[in-house]
Structures are given as structure tokens and as C-alpha cells.
Copies of this chain bind each other. A is one copy, B any other.
Amino acid sequence: MIRFTQIMPVSLHTINREMHERCALCRIRSYSFCRALGEGKLKGFTSISAEKIYTDKQNIFLQNENSDSLYNITEGNIKIYQLLSDGRIQIIGFLYPGDFFGSYSKKKYNYSAESIGKTKVCIFKKDLLDAYLEKNMELAKELLNMTSHELMLAQDRIGVLGKLNANERMAKFVINISQQRSRIGWQDNPVSLPMTRQDIADYLGLTLETVSREITKLKTSKLIKVLNSKQIYLLDKARLLSLCH
């Protein structure tokens, strides 16, 4: 058995703060489901969660693993994806700070989750969170609200993948990224694309070649400016919006 106290280079003061004030100090709380909790409840809430930091391309969990935990992003990005038996990948979504993920209703995870860049998450054991919800109705309702909102976003994505062509999907993608950023108080233009072209392709149900071509088309038709491969500027939001309905 490993005795952590020997190898963790943190002062008692830091541990104390970590143990009790993490939620109180959290900068994205106002964008997370925990915003439903009053200040007085934050210490108690911190105690039923743990924080974990991931570097680039680490798995948070894998599809079909037993799911005993739920997660909240506090920093960085996560991609959630499903694997088909022949190796094809579908990226379900790119998640941002404030996003909640995991599987509340099921015993196994329905998708895999992987960090994009340095990423911080809060981890909640399902049984602990569940017990906490019993006594904190406001949190349960906020969770219902957020899940319902996520469902709406998923339904929009069904529309994108079912009916839009490559051109329209790409326009929708950059518009969505921009909107997502402003939702959590970041500048909405220019936007950074932390994921690779292959990731974008697997997200939009296209190939990376098509994604690349469509970006070039948006560029030549003066709808966007490509600052570098991971940074683009939206030149004409109105036309981009009209493109993706």
C-alpha cells in the first residue's frame, strides 16, 4: 500500500485549502451545474468530489467500462467518442469548461472520453452525488436542466449530420465553436481549434480531406481567415449563419 503523504509535495496549508475551498475558489462555477448551490454549501460539496488533472490525449474513461463516476470540466477540453467494431470513430462532442459528462442513468459508459491538451476535471462518485442530490433538490433540478439542454444540443447535431452537406456542416461548426466560447465568457472571435482536422472530420461525419477542402473554400469565399491551422477568424458571421440554417 502506498502512503501518499510521503510522495505528494504539498504543504498542509495547500491540502487544507484543496480539501475545503476548491469549489469556493472555482472560476467556472457560474457556468457549471454547481452554480445552483449557495455559498454556504460549497465546503460540503467540495468534500464529495475530487479534482484530477490530465495532460494531452489521456483517457478519462472508456466506452463500456463500468461507470461509477460523473465528471465536470473545470479547465481544458474533452472529446467524447464512440468506436465502431471496424475502427471507425464518431466523435459525439467536444466539451468545454462547465460541461458535465459521464453516464447518470446507465451502469456502463456509453462513450469514451479523452483530454485535448491540459485538462482539469472534478470527479463525483455516483452514489455520493446521488445521496447529495436527495438533500439538495436545487442541484438535482439544475442537473435536470443541464441534461435537458445537452439533449437539445444532441438533437441539433442529429439535424446537422442528417441533413447538412459538407459545406453547411463546416459553417455550422465554426459558428458553434464561436457561440460555445462566448457562453463561457471567452472572446468569440477569433476562435481556436484545439482539435485536429481528423477530430473535426470524425465530429462532422466527414473525412479529414473534405474538412480541409471545406476550410479552404470558406477561406477563398472570404467567410473566414485562417490565422494558422489552429486559429481562425470569422469574417462574415451573418453569411456563415445563413449557410447553416
Contact = CB atoms under 8 A, between A and B. Distances in A.
A151 B146 CA distance: 11
A110 B154 CA distance: 11
A172 to B, nearest CB: 11
A158 B158 CA distance: 6
Contact of A148 (B90, B111, B147): B147
Nearest to A85: B245
A150 B105 CA distance: 10
B140 A82 contact: no
Interface in A79-108: 82, 84-86, 88-90, 92, 103-106
A208 interface: no
A144 to B, nearest CB: 5
Given A161-B205, A163-B88, A110 B144 contact: no
Nearest to A159: B90
Contact of A161 (B86, B88, B141, B161): B161
A155 interface: yes
* Size range of the chain A interface in the assembly: 35 or more
A152 interface: yes
A162 interface: yes
Contact of A151 (B133, B145, B154, B202): B154
Contact of A163 (B90, B103, B133): B90
Contacts of A236: none
Interface in A128-178: 133-134, 137, 140-141, 143-152, 154-159, 161-163
Nearest to A133: B141
Interface string A196-211: 0000001111000000
Interface of A: 82, 84-86, 88-90, 92, 103-106, 110-111, 133-134, 137, 140-141, 143-152, 154-159, 161-163, 202-205, 245
Given A134-B137, A162-B202, 20 more contacts: A85-B245, A90-B158, A90-B162, A92-B159, A103-B148, A104-B144, A104-B148, A105-B144, A105-B146, A105-B149, A110-B152, A111-B155, A133-B141, A140-B140, A143-B144, A144-B144, A150-B151, A157-B158, A162-B203, A162-B205
